[in-house]
A and B are shown apart, each in its own frame.
Chain A
Amino acid sequence: MEKRTDKNSYTLLFAIAMTVIVGTLLAFTAQVLKDKIDENRRIEKQQNILYAMGINENTGENDVVMIPTDKVGEAFNKYIVKQIVIQGDKITDNDKAYLIDLKTEQQLAKKADYKRRLPLFIGKKDGKTYYIVPVRGKGLWDAIWGYIALDKNMVVQGAFFDHKGETPGLGANMTQRYFIDDFIGEHLLDSSGNFKGITVLKGNNDPLNNDKTDNEVDALAGATITGNGISAMLKDELNGYVPYFKNLNKK
């Protein structure tokens, strides 16, 4: 005899009911947790921006320890003195600039008539001014992004990188101190003041990165595509800020 659960009508009803129940459940969970998740992302952005300008809780020389989540809001207000958005020749103050989604901007910028909004965060610490630029690009598997703190001559003062899905142990090491610290002091302009970016390069005979003006840092072993992605990201993203820095020095 055919079992009750073998009937087509039963199967169909079961499938519909299951879809509705599971769908509702997941939508509900996502909705309930959405605010909390967005808040986590916002805090993380603030932490990363502060990290790039050297405000962190690192103790050992391999640490990447962000400022704790309960202190980050206060610190962000204290150290980030100004946030601006550069759009073509127009520069506007915007204290929500750090929430601008770079991915959306990059996609919008593909349209010819859209001038991309470029956020820039100006931080002050111990009398020194940092210009922190968010960057976003492609690694081997997925998105990579970061924050680069510059001085007014476009010399890197600090960097932070992160990634969505680079290979663990290889490309994922782009978040490690021995890599991100190599960027500190590195010049983005060449000796005659033209924008050159920073190339992540294997075998540049400078593994300890003693030469800061060569526009090169030593690459990660086994992560060529990730390294190329970082080079391209820095070149493409920072290029848009060059006029701003040129203006800054004229004043």
Chain B
Amino acid sequence: MRLPCPWCGDRDLNEFGYGGDATLQRPADDAPMKEWVDYVFFRDNPRGSHREHWQHIQGCRAWIVVERDTLTHEITGSWPANEMVVAAPAKSEVTP
């Protein structure tokens, strides 16, 4: 498998480290425990399209987001991770 680094082009799998599901949203520090349990342990784990973090450890060292099919390993997109950052949620009103 080769991964398309947005900075370095197609590079061998060996050069990358895996960072897991890139769609997870870190809850606010004071979010209810349920949200933290979901964030830390639970995953959608789809069979099909999956957005995931990789780090080009043996190359430019940048973190990237790759969209890959977990059944066929077909890659349909890659972006610098900082372009995919979603704003952190505002502080929750609920007391944990």
- Asked if A and B are interacting partners, one says no
B positions within 8 Å CB-CB of A: none
